[in-house]
Structure 1
């Protein structure tokens, strides 16, 4: 029906025919009005019903049922011969009746719940938008009216009528005459209000439940048993995520709802044999609320299990992992790294490596102040590969690297989260912009060379290199034209988003590259998932509603932990 309405909007003969059949003694099928508003409404309802939203079913059943009842009464009431003699009216009534029959038969399929506040929020949006549009419209009419005698009520009513019905009342035409652009602007405000009300009425719940102290305790218990499986496991303890445990309690999926997308990150936590139970519950909740399920940064092992539950995979890039017993500064391939390391060392820089729990409270406060001072912007970035709470007392096993210059002045910080008992995963990088070039590389090499002895480490996970394979294969001899073009495009965008530079910065350590995947259910939802992922990682900031309209009910955080410190731009793995 949305398609037919759109065709009617652009095809004049068809539009005239439909509008002729919508007047007088003719009926048209449900929602067929040959208008742009009906096309938009039909499209919204189609999308909402495709997501099996209960609210869309109720809306269609109410409006469609009223339409069908009107047709049945008009065709069945004695004396209404002027309706009965048109065959097309019976055709419209049958089509509408069949649609209602389909709704009744398929009613159990529409199980996706909406937010209980949606109807009230939609009504409030409509009233507030109408008042605002009426005020703006009345000001425009007052400033551009070529006639006299119109009071505020006349101007306000004219604007409201234009927004709702497009055509104003004949009563005010004697006192109001404005240019066409004013009418067009008021009509546009009405269209925007109509779209906004539809969005608010049918939007999915936002997913307000976050980690409780009990949830975090259970996650840490699972990490203590199975934390070595995934380098991103510790990031599951972010307190802006929600969690679903398997029926046995031996596995869990952590996620955040962003823009109608239930976005999980990394692999499920816990025993892989219990992963399917947690995944099934997570997918069931997503479908119950019409959320699009997606996973960012999953490993190949987890990707295969998610695939068995109907999710498809797209390779995002590779994670750089260095095995300490295989790392060496010797050889020609490490000459550039060796020279940079020696240059910084000769300048008098030194690195101190400590667990967070070994740092006195006053020193940690000073480190946090320095980290905030070096922050590049105010936007918090990081979701799947960043913790976002530097210095939290609950993260005592995290490792801090402090780099001082020859005068003992602090110049850079690196923070790593635990990866099982013998591994670390990079969380945060901040440094003084006026410090020596190559300072971060110097600190990483110090950790790789001393970590095995001082911290009993075996492996370290560094940055995540997005589309790493494109840069690697695209630069080889014999690379195809499509691959070279794709590499050129990514190289162009690397001027702003450090896509290629992150790959080059990590390749110098000669790491093991572990692929990471984006998992999704439907290809048509990829744009929506991409925007949700960018919002979660902090690359896109959505405008927030005033506090009066917010309805967030956060669960309390761990009592011993202070509020999370904002992460710096560029924190985490890439």
Structure 2
């Protein structure tokens, strides 16, 4: 994430009290000795359902035996067999889609899969290919036997949305079929009224041939296809909506914020990202002892925790177990974004894998100096900014009056690159909130007193600061950013600050290793890929911007259940950080001017 894209104000709907106040307890309870993994039998069932679904879809497009169709011709019209063929195809694709929900133990996925398998058996027989019905019948029996393994709750709102979608498509199909019959009423073999037209359209939507017959067979087929297509569309789309990943509304229980701040005051020295747990769009899962907590957010069916757990390290396993039990009860995929070494080790003991995500740049305040050849670039940039008349003020937020704070907020919006407010794991995404009076601001002005740039640092335990917001006027003299950071370091000693966390450099170690003598071809290839991606996500430029201050690097990790979950976790993480559009994407609401 780019530092100049952090900050802003987020308004959160506080109407509903989230269900996470009490962690869900389920018979398959997660403990530190029982790693979080889907039961193997559930995974096998999910894969079997997908295989049967793919097989059903494949058989639906293969030509039927003509003699079988002829044998059933007296029992079922040809149009009914065609509709059955289309229905089997849709059911097969839905079963493939349901496999993901079944692996996560979703109860609704099990209900739909069971019903669709039973319907698939009937439709296979109806379309004159009874042999493929056997696998569907077998998997139907397996689902019945293994029903207790599928218990994850669904989102209640999805049920209402699915009903609205289904009703909408059915209504549209019924109206269109009725109009189509009315326009061709003159071609009916037996004249009939609107009541029979409506009956024919309604039956066609569920794959049954209605009572009407047209003089031309092509007209019969056209009406059947129109009504049947809308029926399949209605139930297919409704099933997709019903299985949409659930979410959870943001909101804190009474007293949560005070307890989290208390934990940060006592145990916040271990993680520079701890204060970012106080973002308004994050939720809390507490250990039963209330001595530790996991901050998270649910995005597209992924429960995305950020940073290390907060609180007493000995109570971390309790909080992690409660969070994983909540994921299991709701069918969410657990993932941890940007945790440190200690947090990654704790999550790994619960069966989550860890992947190095990048490195965080940490400045050692007592050892920092502008002297020496390695700091020449920074030294020259700071000198250039000072010769231009730039002056920095380092001040706590509480020491600014209302007018000065309003000016800072206006300028923060005006200096933002683009309209989207980015951040999740390493950004507070608000500025000037009365609850953040301990935040440190660095304000840089020119000789005329005009505000040209600002930094916001959040507290990191008792003796640290973590960079949250970095904004600057793009027309300012080169060296503005360097002057603000150096000013913060120079003032830090008088504030009792010994370490400052700067930006996070994604996959920094790959770029650094590629520059070393003897770097292998694989490392050099990865480095070239990252440089190509830097045009979109500032990967290399952010690393270079941090490296010139000669920081020491601390690795950050991504924790996840299995490699197959990485694509959905990556999408969820990018959505949370606002690199992908989502309903939670925040945009500037303040005037884009800075007086």
TM > 0.5 between the two?
yes
User: What are the ranges of 5 or more consecutive residues in structure 1 without an aligned counterpart?
Assistant: 75-85, 546-562, 570-574
Q: Is residue 2:96 matched to residue 1:43? A: yes
Distance 1:543 1:272, change over 3 A: closer
Q: What residue number does 2:19 align with?
A: none
**Alpha-carbon displacement from aligned partner over 1:285-327 (angstroms, at most 9, x marks no partner):** 0010000000000001111110010100111100000010111
Work out the CA distance in 2 between the residues paired with 1:18 and 1:499: 61
SS of 2:295 mapped into structure 1: strand
Q: Which of 512, 519, 524 is 2:559 aligned to?
A: 519
CA–CA separation in structure 1 for the residues paired with 2:354 and 2:66: 45
C-alpha separation between the residues in 1 aligned to 2:373 and 2:203?
78
The Cα shift of 1:225 comes to 0.6
Give the C-alpha shift of residue 340 in structure 1. 1.0
Contact 1:112 1:287 in 2 (8 A): yes
Superposed CA RMSD: 4.3
Do 1:313 and 1:519's aligned partners in 2 also have CA atoms closer than 8 Å? Answer: yes
Give the CA deviation at 1:134. 6.8
Quote how far apart the aligned CAs of 1:377 are.
2.2
Change (3 A) 1:299 1:430: same
Query: Higher mean Cα deviation, 278-287 or 48-57?
Result: 48-57
Is structure 2 residue 408 aligned with structure 1 residue 367?
Answer: yes
- The answer as to 2:540 corresponding to 1:500 is yes
Distance 1:7 1:67, change over 3 A: closer
Match of 2:523 in 1: 483
Does 1:385 find its partner at 2:385? no
Q: Structure 2 matches for 1:124-523, cutoff 5 A?
A: 124-132=164-172, 165=207, 171=213, 194-453=235-494, 455-523=495-563
Contact 2:50 2:98 in 1 (8 A): no
* 1:342-380 deviation per Cα after TM superposition (whole angstroms, max 9, x unaligned): 111111101000001111122111211121222222212
> Offset at 1:398?
0.3
Is contact 1:147-1:177 (8 Å) kept?
no
Is the CA contact 2:200–2:212 (under 8 Å) kept in the aligned structure 1?
A: no
Please, which of 36, 53, 60 is the counterpart of residue 106 of structure 2?
53
Unaligned stretches of 5+ in structure 2? 1-48, 77-83
- Aligned match of 1:78: none
1:45 and 1:167 mapped to 2: Cα distance? 30
- The change in CA–CA distance for 1:209 and 1:5 in structure 2 (over 3 A counts) is closer
1:155 Cα deviation from its structure 2 partner: 11
Distance 1:564 1:194 in 2: 36
Instruction: Name the CA distance, whole Å, in 2 between partners of 1:152 and 1:176.
Output: 21
Report SS of the residue matched to 1:489. helix
The 5-angstrom pairing of residues 64-79 of structure 1 reads none
CA pair 155-499 structure 1, distance change in 2 beyond 3 A: farther
For each residue in 1:425-459, what CA deviation from the matched residue of structure 2 results, as whole angstroms up to 9, or x when unmatched?
01111111111122111110111122112x12100
Which sits farther off after the overlay, 54-63 or 277-286?
54-63
CA distance in 2, matches of 1:164, 1:89: 21
Asked which structure has the greater RCO (Cα within 8 Å, sep 6+), the reply is 2
Structure 1: how far apart are the matches of 2:67 and 2:241?
30
In structure 2, do the counterparts of structure 1 residues 40 and 67 end up closer, same or farther at CA, with 3 Å as the change threshold? Answer: closer
CA distance in 2, matches of 1:479, 1:23: 71
In 1, the alpha carbon distance for the partners of 2:458 and 2:531 equals 31
What secondary structure is seen at the aligned counterpart in 2 of 1:496? helix
Taking the aligned partners of 1:434 and 1:157, their CA distance within structure 2 comes to 70
Q: Give the secondary structure class of the aligned counterpart of 1:390.
A: coil
Q: Contact 1:318 / 1:514 at 8 angstroms: preserved in 2?
A: yes
Alignment partner, residue 553 of structure 1? none
1:120 is paired with a residue whose SS is helix
Distance in structure 1 (CA, Å) of the matches to 2:174 and 2:564: 38
Q: CA deviation at 1:204?
A: 3.7
**d(CA) in 2 for partners of 1:237, 1:528:** 25
Q: Secondary structure at the match of 1:315?
A: strand
Distance 1:109 1:102 in 2: 11
In structure 2, the partner of 1:551 is none
Aligned to 1:122: 162
